[in-house]
Structures are given as C-alpha cells and as structure tokens.
Structure 1
Amino acid sequence: MKINTKFVLVFVMIVAAVSFIFRLLPHPANFIPLGALALFCGTYIKSKWGILVPVAVMAITDYIVGWHSLIFFTWGSFLLMGMIGWWIQKRKNISRVVGGTLAGSVLFFIITNFAVWAFTPLYVKTMAGLVQSYYMAIPFFRSSAMGDLFYVGVFFSLYEVASYLIVKYRKRQVIPVQNN
C-alpha cells in the first residue's frame, strides 16, 4: 500500500497528541499509550529520527508532571521500543506486531526496574534486592503490557484501516480522458 508522507505525519501527530493527553489524565499505573507510540513511530515513520517522537512527548509531559531521577532510563526504553518498530517495519504482520509489543514491554520492565534498584534507596544493592525490585514491579508490568497491547491494537488498526480506505478511494477516482 502506497501512502503519502503527509498522511503518515498527520496520523503520527494525532497519535502523539492522544499519547500526550492520556499521559496527563488520571490513568491506571503505566496504562498509557507511550510504548505503543514508540512502536508505531518506529514502524511507520521512514526516517530513523521518528523514534524521537515518543521521547519528545515524554520530555514535555515529564516537564509538566515533574522530572524524576530515572528519566533517561525511561526515555531510553522508549527509544529501544522504537527500534523494535524498525524490525516490525521490515516484515509487518500480526505476530511481529504482538511479539514486538511484548518484547518492548519486557525491555521497559527490565531496564526501568533495574534502574530503580541500582539508583534509588528503595532496595538493598544485592541480588535479593534486585529480585525484590522486579517482584514488586510485576503489577506495573501487567498494566504496562496490557496498555501497550491495547494501544498498539488501536493505533495500528486505525492506521491500517485508514490507509486501506485511502487507497481504495484513490482507485475509485476516475480521471476523465480528453479527446482532441
């Protein structure tokens, strides 16, 4: 399906705006569309710079809700999720999208909770403390993975349906031929 860059840009702006708003509204812990935004941008934006869109949304919303000491781990996790989108882009199918979504959720869980263990005083700096950090984060992981799967389903489905309808509409347009 050949879709023009302007459509992709407009759709990304809408998805980014939704992600921005939902990050600021009250929500279940970690049930936000930013992981889905990262995967979406990595998958559909041809430029490798597209993975910076979710980081920009995070930076602006972090400024509003308050900075925290682990932002670079959080932002880095979203960059990695965008890179998973590059892998999905090469051969997009449902199993890659679902697998990439779950891989992104797991990466986010591993990276951010390692950072909580390593750089905050919440857990002792032993293997037992690290295990406890991951154990205590399981409810957040469940919510994060469910949010990623839900929003990836919404964003990718809406994009694919809109793309299909645009292509179908273009094919139906008849260009009149002038006889001289």
Structure 2
Amino acid sequence: MQLIGMLDSPYVRRVAISLKRLGMTFEHRSLSVFRDFEEFSQVNPIVKAPTLVTDDGTILMDSTLILQYIEGISATSLMPETSHPQTLRLIGLALMACDKTVQIVYERTLRPQGKQHQPWLERVTTQLHAAYEQLEKNAHNFTCDPLMQTDITTAVAWRFTQLYTADVITPETYPRLAAFSAQAEALPDFISTPID
C-alpha cells in the first residue's frame, strides 16, 4: 500500500504515524499538492492529501476514512472497542484545530497581503483558540502509554499549529498540550515521521 502526501500535512502525518503504530507495511511518497500537482494527479486526479493506494489499487482519501479502512484490516486498533463519544469529540477537536490552522496558513500565504480578509482571519483564529481551549481542558486524557488515536491526532495537530502559526497559539497559553506533544514527538514513530 502507498501513502501519498507530504508530512507537513497533519492529515498525512496522522495516517503515517498510525500505520507505523499498527505495524502496517506501506510506502510513503512525499508528493506536494502544490509543487507536484501533475505527478500527484497521475495517481489521484483529485490531488487530495492524504491519498492511500490500497494493495488492490483502490484510491482512498480523507485521513479519517483511511484510518477506518486501516483499522478494518489491522489485527490491532488505536480506537477503543466502542467508540465513546468523548473519544470522538477529542479527535474532532484536534482535527478542527488542523482545519483552522490550514485556513490561517492559506489566507496568509496564498492571498496577497492587501487581499487578506481580516474579519475572516479573526473568526478562524477565535475558532482555533476554542478548539485548543477544549483540548487543554481535557489534556489529562492524553497519554503516550498506550498511544491511541486521540493522542496521535492531538499531538500531530499541536506540532502542525506550532510550525505554522506559533504567533497565534503559544505553548504558554496551552502548557499541558505543549508538554504532551513534546512527549509524543520523542516517541520513535513520531521521530521517524518528521515533518517534511
């Protein structure tokens, strides 16, 4: 199976770390949806990262759906036996933090300075803080032993946000998340899956 997309995407990195935690063998192709658009489109015309090419050649997109597929073929799981609403809520908050960080990055980097819409940036920044405030309140739920999907997704989200919007979300404001993420980033599966 092939995982396609760059590890600076939290969605790609989330899947890659999960595959490693589950002991799944895969090839990673680090293609950018921007710089490698043509090459990426040869695999997936939609050019969506992450893209997973299964062993039978099926193209899967969206990190949550890819992880659902992987969990279905794996002998182990990174989710509780029953999907407790609190678990799904925490994963949803971490994914929302990723989404809002992406929106800020795109607004800042893809629009010229004079075309950036400040009310939109303020709204998205408020949403990003709301997600991290909830995650910080629930930081006692995160652990590296055993490392589950809530932990992987939250740690990956935090690292991504810190890489691209450290001026918006600071470790001083969310110290327990910062400490947890640092602990997770020191694990072998995270170290061997560095951001591109």
TM norm. shorter chain > 0.5:
no
Which has the bigger relative contact order, CA under 8 A and spacing at least 6? 1
TM-score, scaled relative to structure 1: 0.31
| Greater per-residue strand proportion | 2
Which structure would you say has the larger Rg?
1
